[in-house]
Structure 1
Amino acid sequence: MLTSPELALIYKGIIELFNKGKAMDYTLLEHEMRALDHELYAEMNGLNYVGDGLLSVVDDVHVTTYADLIVEEYQRNSLRLLAMELSGKCGSRDIPVEQILQLANSKLEEIAGMGVNSTSTRQISEIGQEVVARHTRLLENGGTSVGYSTGLKGMDDIMGGFMRGEVAIASALTSHGKTALSLFMAVQIALKGVPVYIISLEMSMEQLYGRILMSMSTVSPENLRMHGLTETEIAVAKGLNETTLKRLPLFIDYIASARPEDIRAKVKLARKRKQCDFLILDYINQLDTGHAQGENLATSLGHAMKRIKDLAVEENIPALVLAQMNREIEKRNDNYKHKLSDLRDSGVLEQAADVVFFINRPELQGNGKGDDGESLVGIGNINILKNRNGATGTTKFRYNNHMTRISDY
């Protein structure tokens, strides 16, 4: 129901090609348009009518968003026409009100259903077959967890790894290891052949590469960041680049001032290129949510989190989202016992997540020794406070001076 006859002709041509099972080709589309209405085709000069618009679309990354906009406009036009039709019928005393109401309900249901994707509906046994097949592959390969392993046994024992269709939030105070731990997990997952896609909203791609390089070699952090690599370290970096890192399905993208729709488009494209079976977003508080007037940041971030959750379910991939903590925990006298409300801009944020865990390093809080006298230097805690489909609990990990090497406790 396009109001422009020219655009309507283009649309009809596309539908004709689709119904005939033909390719969506520029020349074939013009042929169909000529056959449908030769006079209008000549008047609008074929597809040159939308030439400028076609040239402005450089790829199909946003095609789903464009389609949603077309459906929305179609629904608006349908509602306008329905309003005029109902207005005319209401002016006639010969038509019973009940009949008009039935017509209104029927038409409204039809219009509301225009944007619904019916292909998402599946029969229960079909879903069951996929689940059984996945468990069969796990059994045959000698696996011990349905999810992707975090690389830390204690964490896997509690939450079973990262599950498809689920979103986990990792939160910590500044410099307590959010990015370091997420990169460790990214490498562990990628080493098993799983494509990992990291979207950074803060650190540059070169900085992330540097962290991964230091985690896999003896390259000095000071040399990499300040003094320059030695000849030996350059040889080590070259060797890693040409061997392990070259084979590693680990992909990094930096996006400045990213919006939720940008994240969605990037992930869709990465999925198309087989670069994303596991998503890491570093970090959500840097998203440009464009919150509406009167809407607070916590609510808008929660809505963004819900869109990431929808994306994870839609693409059937796990997602790890990093988030900042507020500093209220530093004012409490509870030895840094985390609460879900410790998430900065919390509220809808943790509600949309399937898993929420906090990272802390006691030595940075002035706790050099535990209650039993054990040294806490180089020991970090992971507190899993929410796990929608599993257990919660606390586990530990070890790290080196620069937080470049992480291992089981």
Structure 2
Amino acid sequence: MNNISLEFKEEISLLCALITGQTCMGDIYPRLKPEHFDSKPFGFVYEASVNLYNNGIPMDLTLLEEEMRRIDPAYYNEINGIDAVKDYFGLVLDGCNVRMYADHIIEGFQRRKFSTLSTEMRAKAVQYNLSMKQILEDTTLKMQQISCVGVDNSTIRQVSQIGEEVIAKHERMLQQDVHSVGLSTGLKGLDEIIGGLLPGEVPCIGARPGQGKSALALFIALQVAMSGHPVYFITLEMSLEQLYGRILLSLSEVSAANLRQHGLTVTEIEAVRNLNKTKLAELPLYIDYIPSARVEDIRSKVKLARNRNQCDLVVLDYLHQLELESDANNNHATTLGFAIKRIKDLAIEEHIPILLLSQLNRDIEKRTDSKDPRMSDLRDSGVLEQAADIVIFINRPEQQGKTKDVNGESLAGIGFLKVAKNRNGSTGITRFRYNENMTRLSDY
């Protein structure tokens, strides 16, 4: 066992990470091919795992074996199925370094190809019936092919192809009588300012604790899901039961006190059961609680959800609960900036909006002039201001003791959404209404 090469260990570590769910498949499969593996059985297992991923099928050993048998029954029997991998699970290195393992596997393939090419060129160099010009041209071509191994060319598009897709999208909008390119937030005033949630953009909702970040995000998620678009809601803070409770309070008449403290009545339980079997059963809203999640975990899960058609919008609640990669050479702001960039890259790659939630600095509480949120109030404001396409602040004056506006009108149950930044559009302020528990929102 001690004589097994590092390359072999990295190949089995990558496969183990894919099989056990610690996967960055969405990041590696466009670059890493089965033939890049030094071990042919490992390459075969990898090919089967890619097929499952592309079909949106969750990974497990049983389904993986079935796919291997389907691809090549004879070779499956020859290597004794999944046992070709299972026998080496004890050699697994750190499963979190999947992307690095993929890079090393690709590099190992390049080295083997280069070694083979060197042998070929050495033999051709003494074949005097071949012109040196032809030898050099062949060598240059093959060197270029080796250097391009692991490069994903699927992103290169001829401009007219992009145009055809844009035309087709707008034709579908006409046929479906859709009047906005972006996904509607459910609040007309907000939609009029930002134009809805647009593919490839990263909007950010900022507010102090208790102002309603999660409530607004969940409201938007429900509105998008009820319009027929699948939503992937990732919570890093609230449990699944807590989030489900908020959904119940927004869609039913159950008592908040009963749900959270005293227990539901028989009538309320029946109402919840009916809601669960009807409206919620048909709602394309998918919730995932991922404590201590790293940005690569988020990327992998979103790509898998996208493959399963479970994701036209991602909500991440909330940004500062992400577990950042520790790096002695970089400070917190730099590390957070890298994480946000990876999220922005994901939005562009998957052509979806990713809605981030962020806290505000405590300094806002110390201000004596105005407690209206500003860009500088965002926690890690420099990083977020640069990365976010849209920044929306929530302000509920009622919580600050303000009962009337400048015109003397009541501010009870009235909130303000301030679009402080909009990279591709206008900024402005709009009002909305909310109930006592901030579980139901509506237009002003």
TM-score range, shorter chain: 0.7 to 0.9
| Distance in 1 (alpha carbons) for counterparts of 2:433 and 2:71 | 63
Pairing partner for 2:305 from 248, 270, 276:
270
The reply to whether residue 7 of structure 1 matches residue 7 of structure 2 is no
Q: CA deviation at 1:277?
A: 1.3
| Distance in 1 (alpha carbons) for counterparts of 2:155 and 2:37 | 32
Q: CA deviation at 1:360?
A: 1.2
Does structure 1 conserve the Cα–Cα contact (< 8 Å) formed by 2:189 and 2:430? yes
Does structure 2 conserve the Cα–Cα contact (< 8 Å) formed by 1:329 and 1:336? yes
Q: In the superposition, relative to structure 1, how do residues 54 and 184 fare at CA in structure 2: closer, same or farther (>3 Å)?
A: same
| Distance in 1 (alpha carbons) for counterparts of 2:417 and 2:323 | 28
Q: In the superposition, relative to structure 1, how do residues 389 and 33 fare at CA in structure 2: closer, same or farther (>3 Å)?
A: same
Letter in 2 for 1:236: A
Deviation digits for residues 180-213 of structure 1 (CA, Å, limit 9, x no counterpart): 0111111111111111110100001111111111
Between the aligned residues of both structures, percent identity stands at 51
| Distance in 1 (alpha carbons) for counterparts of 2:363 and 2:46 | 58
Q: CA deviation at 1:359?
A: 0.8
Q: CA deviation at 1:224?
A: 0.5
The reply to whether residue 71 of structure 1 matches residue 103 of structure 2 is yes
Does structure 1 conserve the Cα–Cα contact (< 8 Å) formed by 2:37 and 2:43? no
Does structure 2 conserve the Cα–Cα contact (< 8 Å) formed by 1:360 and 1:380? yes
Does structure 1 conserve the Cα–Cα contact (< 8 Å) formed by 2:7 and 2:105? no
Report which stretch shifted further, 346-355 or 306-315: 346-355
Q: CA deviation at 1:351?
A: 1.6
Deviation digits for residues 234-275 of structure 1 (CA, Å, limit 9, x no counterpart): 122112111111111111110111111111121122122221
Q: Unmatched 5+ residue regions in structure 2?
A: 1-5, 9-35, 51-65, 115-139
What is the alpha-carbon root mean square deviation over aligned residues?
Answer: 3.7
Report which stretch shifted further, 370-379 or 46-55: 46-55
The reply to whether residue 403 of structure 1 matches residue 435 of structure 2 is no
The reply to whether residue 336 of structure 1 matches residue 367 of structure 2 is no
| Distance in 1 (alpha carbons) for counterparts of 2:42 and 2:402 | 68
Aligned equivalent of 2:256: 221
| Distance in 1 (alpha carbons) for counterparts of 2:301 and 2:44 | 30
- SS state at 1:119 partner: coil
Report which stretch shifted further, 241-250 or 65-74: 65-74
The reply to whether residue 143 of structure 1 matches residue 178 of structure 2 is yes
Q: CA deviation at 1:46?
A: 9.7
| Distance in 1 (alpha carbons) for counterparts of 2:223 and 2:44 | 50
Pairing partner for 1:358 from 390, 393, 399:
393
Superposed, 1:8-407 pairs within 5 Å as 8-10=39-41, 25=68, 50-53=85-88, 66=98, 69-75=101-107, 113-407=148-442
- SS state at 1:7 partner: coil
- SS state at 2:177 partner: coil
Report which stretch shifted further, 126-135 or 343-352: 343-352
Q: In the superposition, relative to structure 1, how do residues 73 and 156 fare at CA in structure 2: closer, same or farther (>3 Å)?
A: same
| Distance in 2 (alpha carbons) for counterparts of 1:249 and 1:357 | 25
| Distance in 2 (alpha carbons) for counterparts of 1:355 and 1:330 | 24
Letter in 2 for 1:217: S
Does structure 2 conserve the Cα–Cα contact (< 8 Å) formed by 1:75 and 1:112? no
Does structure 2 conserve the Cα–Cα contact (< 8 Å) formed by 1:359 and 1:381? yes
Does structure 1 conserve the Cα–Cα contact (< 8 Å) formed by 2:395 and 2:416? yes
Aligned equivalent of 1:95: none
| Distance in 2 (alpha carbons) for counterparts of 1:232 and 1:15 | 52
Does structure 2 conserve the Cα–Cα contact (< 8 Å) formed by 1:14 and 1:24? no
Letter in 2 for 1:70: A
Q: CA deviation at 1:28?
A: 6.7
| Distance in 2 (alpha carbons) for counterparts of 1:231 and 1:27 | 51
Q: Unmatched 5+ residue regions in structure 1?
A: 35-40, 83-104
Q: CA deviation at 1:393?
A: 1.0
| Distance in 1 (alpha carbons) for counterparts of 2:234 and 2:315 | 6
Does structure 2 conserve the Cα–Cα contact (< 8 Å) formed by 1:75 and 1:111? no
Report which stretch shifted further, 234-243 or 198-207: 234-243
Does structure 1 conserve the Cα–Cα contact (< 8 Å) formed by 2:359 and 2:378? yes
Letter in 2 for 1:196: V
Q: In the superposition, relative to structure 1, how do residues 167 and 112 fare at CA in structure 2: closer, same or farther (>3 Å)?
A: farther
Aligned equivalent of 1:90: none
- SS state at 2:204 partner: strand
| Distance in 2 (alpha carbons) for counterparts of 1:385 and 1:106 | 53
Q: CA deviation at 1:9?
A: 4.5
Q: TM-score under structure 1 normalisation?
A: 0.80
| Distance in 2 (alpha carbons) for counterparts of 1:229 and 1:243 | 19
| Distance in 2 (alpha carbons) for counterparts of 1:238 and 1:33 | 47
Does structure 2 conserve the Cα–Cα contact (< 8 Å) formed by 1:68 and 1:115? no
Q: CA deviation at 1:292?
A: 0.9
Letter in 1 for 2:299: R
Letter in 2 for 1:381: F
Does structure 1 conserve the Cα–Cα contact (< 8 Å) formed by 2:205 and 2:394? yes
Does structure 1 conserve the Cα–Cα contact (< 8 Å) formed by 2:106 and 2:150? no
Q: CA deviation at 1:114?
A: 3.6
Does structure 1 conserve the Cα–Cα contact (< 8 Å) formed by 2:37 and 2:109? no
| Distance in 2 (alpha carbons) for counterparts of 1:46 and 1:211 | 46
| Distance in 1 (alpha carbons) for counterparts of 2:37 and 2:208 | 57
Q: TM-score under structure 2 normalisation?
A: 0.74
Letter in 2 for 1:325: L
- Aligned positions, number: 372
Q: In the superposition, relative to structure 1, how do residues 46 and 364 fare at CA in structure 2: closer, same or farther (>3 Å)?
A: closer
Report which stretch shifted further, 191-200 or 331-340: 331-340
Q: CA deviation at 1:299?
A: 2.2
Q: In the superposition, relative to structure 1, how do residues 121 and 237 fare at CA in structure 2: closer, same or farther (>3 Å)?
A: same
Q: CA deviation at 1:135?
A: 1.4
Letter in 2 for 1:25: M
